[in-house]
């Protein structure tokens, strides 16, 4: 049994167990879900420890360098055309995926722990939760584009129901908006995927193939096909490769989300129940970033280079616009949602720089933001569950009422605003360093652009510190008066156990960034290498 396959399908196994169990045992569902995520975390840690590093294990466009690979023929269709349709069950990981996989399996445990707040319809919730769990892990491990797409789309339906059935007041609107937005991006991605499939031949069998690794090698493209770099194909008066890149980028940019495609995010994050918010912010946004790195850059390095300025510009716009919006919010959860937009902008900026520092920074930011946003949304959930309100102006002086809670909030806030010693500092520093270096390294990004990134850090300090001051310091004053005061008890044991590892991890990554960087370094260098050796037509 392949360890990745086990990792992907463990949740489904538990979902089946929950499905056959009678509803009378509903109390045990959350423990089973927690067990599933813990098993996953165990496997994830095992993979992390056994993950080999070195130039020979860089991955990216070398199929042989991927680790824990499993490749099985899956769908083989012959429709009377010239060649057969070849789809493999093909999973494997390299440095880019390992960081995401481990981060995901940890955030899933946190999400499972925060599912304690779900009270209604438990069977449905936990089954959907576990299907979603399978799909996200699958996305990070799939190396066949078709398989990737299956997992990618498979996330949508569970999320629609998770937001729509257990969400807040405007849950219907938020759920359908999320679903339509993402589907809009992904159906066009389907067209590009089919185009790539018909442009690429498996060098061994001669069939068309969905293998992503083959798609990264220009030698596998059929001369004259739509997406072959040398054929200069025009679609709607535009270079086919540029159009393909743009479509894929839009699909992933919706997920990241990049301004102006972000408007689904505040709604979905705010309306979703806490565990789903954690999954959305902690993991789903990273699928966008991962897709841009693995697919947009891996398959279209030439376009990624020529369009780097625009990517960088979009990244900066996201950083600034997200931060300004966060500054204007009254709803704590909405503020955090916008801060996600801002922080994910650094990912795009780092990717656009196409320097080893920048891409490492982007990867680090994804991992760090995965932990931090999980922590932030969990913290909002804590206060919302107690008084069903999260308007910043309705609270004051919480630090005296809930001292332990305040400590965790401070850790999360200071870590998020990039205080040295925490993971986000390393991530943002690397992204910005990469962006600045890009001017001399490959001349892709002008320096003024990177300078705006620094402004983003400043703004994030502003909204986080201001919130901290308004809600936690000063004289105690609550909108709900005495009833709220009684309801607002400090963190219980489960909540502390949930938050503690996150706080420790973000600290650990800040002090020892090599925990992540060491694993991803070879892949990042290989990625930068392919963008430098593109065929210039």
- Residue 81 is a binding residue for another protein (CB under 8 A): yes
- Residue 12 is a binding residue for another protein (CB under 8 A): no
- Residue 172 is a binding residue for another protein (CB under 8 A): yes
Tokens 């960088």 correspond to what residue? 312
Minimum distance from residue 121 beta carbon to another protein (Å):
8
Give 238's strand partners.
235
Residue 150 or 507 having the CB closest to another protein: 150
Contact pattern from residue 191 through residue 220 relative to another protein, giving x for each residue in contact according to CB under 8 A and a dash for the rest? x--xx-xxx---------------------
Query: Per CB under 8 A, which of residues 29..58 are in contact with another protein?
Result: none
Query: Per CB under 8 A, which of residues 386..415 are in contact with another protein?
Result: none
Please state, in angstroms and rounded to a whole number, the distance separating the CA atoms of residues 253 and 1.
35
- Residue 187 is a binding residue for another protein (CB under 8 A): yes
Torsion sign, CA atoms 303, 304, 305, 310: positive
Please state, in angstroms and rounded to a whole number, the distance separating the CA atoms of residues 154 and 158.
8
Contacts of 132 (CB under 8 A, 6+ apart): 155, 158, 159, 162, 279
Minimum distance from residue 139 beta carbon to another protein (Å):
12
Please state, in angstroms and rounded to a whole number, the distance separating the CA atoms of residues 31 and 286.
27
- Residue 255 is a binding residue for another protein (CB under 8 A): no
Minimum distance from residue 329 beta carbon to another protein (Å):
26
Token reading at 108: 């899933």
- Residue 161 is a binding residue for another protein (CB under 8 A): yes
Q: What angle do CA 236, 240, 243 make, to 5 degrees?
A: 80
Which of 9, 48, 116, 188 lies at the binding interface for another protein (CB under 8 A)?
A: 188
- Residue 156 is a binding residue for another protein (CB under 8 A): yes
CB atoms within 10 A of CB 186: 19
- Residue 326 is a binding residue for another protein (CB under 8 A): no
- Residue 221 is a binding residue for another protein (CB under 8 A): no
Instruction: Return the range that interacts with another protein (CB under 8 A); candidates 180-188, 382-390, 471-479, 480-488.
Output: 180-188
Q: Coil, strand, or helix at residue 269?
A: helix
Minimum distance from residue 268 beta carbon to another protein (Å):
14
Query: Per CB under 8 A, which of residues 432..451 are in contact with another protein?
Result: none
Please state, in angstroms and rounded to a whole number, the distance separating the CA atoms of residues 245 and 292.
10
Pick from 189, 223, 194: which is nearest to 209 by CA?
194
Contacts of 506 (CB under 8 A, 6+ apart): 368, 371, 372, 375, 411, 415, 422, 423, 424
Query: Per CB under 8 A, which of residues 93..152 are in contact with another protein?
Result: 121, 149-150
Token reading at 266: 């505040």
Beta strand spans in 25-164 (E): 67-77, 85-93
Which of 64, 80, 223, 481 lies at the binding interface for another protein (CB under 8 A)?
A: 80
Residue 225 or 355 having the CB closest to another protein: 225
Minimum distance from residue 527 beta carbon to another protein (Å):
28
Pick from 260, 211, 495: which is nearest to 375 by CA?
495
| Residues at the interface with another protein (CB under 8 A) | 75-81, 85, 121, 149-150, 153-154, 156-157, 160-161, 164-165, 171-172, 175-176, 179-180, 183-184, 187-188, 190-191, 194-195, 197-199, 224-226, 235-236
């Amino acid at each position: 049994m392949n360890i990745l396959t086990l990792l992907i399908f463990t949740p489904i196994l538990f979902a089946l167990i929950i499905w056959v169990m009678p509803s009378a045992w509903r109390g045990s569902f959350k423990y089973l879900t927690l067990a599933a995520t813990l098993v996953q975390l165990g496997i994830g840690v095992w993979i992390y420890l056994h993950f080999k590093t070195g130039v020979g294990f860089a991955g990216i466009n070398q199929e042989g360098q991927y680790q824990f690979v499993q490749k099985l023929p899956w769908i083989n269709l012959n429709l009377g055309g010239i060649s057969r349709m070849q789809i493999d069950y093909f999973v494997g990981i390299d440095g880019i995926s390992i960081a995401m996989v481990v981060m995901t399996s940890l955030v899933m445990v946190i999400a499972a722990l925060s599912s304690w707040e779900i009270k209604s319809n438990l069977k449905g919730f936990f089954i959907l939760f576990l299907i979603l769990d399978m799909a996200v892990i699958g996305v990070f491990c799939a190396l066949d584009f078709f398989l990737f797409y299956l997992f990618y789309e498979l996330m949508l339906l569970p999320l629609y129901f998770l937001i729509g059935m257990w969400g807040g007041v405007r849950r219907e609107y938020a759920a359908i908006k999320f679903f339509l937005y993402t589907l809009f991006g992904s159906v066009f991605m389907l067209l590009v995927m089919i185009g790539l499939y018909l442009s690429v031949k498996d060098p061994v069998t001669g069939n068309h193939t969905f293998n992503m690794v083959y798609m990264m090698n220009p030698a596998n493209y059929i001369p004259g096909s739509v997406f072959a770099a040398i054929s200069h194909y025009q679609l709607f008066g535009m270079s086919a490769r540029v159009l393909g890149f743009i479509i894929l980028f839009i699909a992933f940019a919706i997920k990241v989300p990049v301004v102006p495609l972000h408007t689904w995010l505040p709604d979905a994050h705010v309306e979703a129940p806490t565990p789903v918010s954690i999954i959305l912010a902690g993991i789903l946004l990273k699928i966008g970033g991962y897709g841009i790195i693995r697919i947009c850059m891996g398959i279209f390095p030439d376009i990624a280079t020529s369009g780097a300025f625009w990517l960088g510009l979009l990244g900066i716009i996201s950083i600034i616009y997200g931060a300004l919006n966060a500054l204007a919010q009254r709803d704590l959860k909405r503020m955090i949602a916008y801060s996600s937009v801002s922080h994910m902008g650094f990912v795009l900026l780092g990717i656009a720089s196409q320097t080893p520092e920048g891409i490492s920074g982007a990867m680090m930011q994804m991992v760090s933001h995965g932990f931090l946003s999980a922590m932030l949304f969990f913290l909002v959930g804590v206060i919302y569950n107690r008084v069903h309100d999260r308007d910043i102006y309705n609270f004051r002086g919480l630090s005296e009422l809930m001292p332990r809670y305040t400590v965790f909030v401070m850790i999360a806030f200071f870590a998020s605003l990039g205080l040295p010693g925490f993971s986000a500092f390393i991530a943002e520093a690397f992204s910005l360093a990469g962006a600045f270096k890009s001017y001399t390294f490959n001349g892709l990004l002008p320096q003024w652009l990177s300078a705006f990134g620094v402004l983003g850090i400043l703004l994030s300090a502003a909204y986080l510190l201001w919130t901290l001051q308004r809600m936690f310091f000063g004289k105690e004053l609550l909108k709900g008066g005495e009833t709220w005061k009684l309801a607002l008890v400090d963190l219980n044991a489960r909540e502390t156990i949930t938050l503690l590892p996150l706080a420790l991890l973000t600290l650990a990554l800040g002090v020892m960034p090599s925990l992540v960087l060491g694993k991803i370094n070879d892949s990042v260098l290989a990625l930068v290498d392919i963008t430098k050796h593109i065929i210039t037509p």
